[in-house]
């Protein structure tokens, strides 16, 4: 009887520790999955996905709104659907674009992007307005219409 009590006294903390370790491994796996899933931007048909190579040509003429974002950024994931709705509403009057700063470091460095989401409005290649953080569609639409 004393042997069984001694074994349980040793076994119980080991089992508890094993359960905690398994739980932490599971949580790390889930968090990594959440942060790395959806590597590409969820875009509408009217949203343009920019790269370092296509940036200058796309924003060179007319009015363009560029959403600088990253897949791991929670506020960026909140801003993304707003930008997509805006692209559908504008429907060609202006370029509504997204640029992943992790995959396009050249332009992010050129414009000094330190916080994301950063949204910039360009007119004929020149930046006319910059927003940092999540902004409502009405604010972005007002700024675009001001420069059309």
Active site residue 73: yes
Q: Which is catalytic among the residues 50, 65, 70, 73?
A: 73
CATH topology of domain 47-147: Glutaredoxin (3.40.30)
Give residue-wise pLDDT tens across range 6-25.
Answer: 566 777 788 888 899 888 88
Three-class HEC string of 63-78: EEEEEEECCCCHHHHH
Q: Average pLDDT across each block of 10 residues of the chain; the chain has 148 residues. List them in order.
A: 60 85 82 55 83 94 95 92 93 93 94 95 96 96 94
Q: Which is catalytic among the residues 59, 65, 76, 99?
A: 76
pLDDT of residue 39: 46
pLDDT of residue 33: 59
Cα distance between residue 39 and residue 15, in whole Å: 37
pTM summary value: 0.72
Tell me the percentage of the chain whose pLDDT exceeds 70: 86
Cα distance between residue 31 and residue 19, in whole Å: 18
Active site residue 97: no
């Amino acid at each position: 009887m004393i042997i069984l009590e001694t074994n349980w006294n040793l076994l119980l903390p080991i089992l508890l520790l094993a359960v905690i370790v398994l739980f932490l491994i599971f949580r790390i796996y889930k968090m990594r999955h959440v942060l790395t899933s959806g590597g590409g931007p969820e875009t509408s048909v009217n949203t343009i996905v920019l790269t370092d190579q296509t940036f200058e040509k796309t924003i060179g003429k007319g009015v363009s709104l560029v959403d600088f974002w990253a897949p791991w950024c929670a506020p960026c994931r909140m801003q993304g659907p707003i930008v997509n709705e805006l692209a559908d509403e504008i429907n060609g009057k202006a370029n509504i674009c997204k640029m992943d700063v992790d995959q396009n470091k050249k332009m992010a460095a050129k414009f000094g992007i330190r916080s994301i989401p950063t949204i910039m409005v360009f007119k004929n290649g020149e930046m006319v307005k910059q927003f940092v953080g999540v902004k409502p569609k009405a604010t972005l639409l007002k700024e675009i219409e001001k420069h059309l």
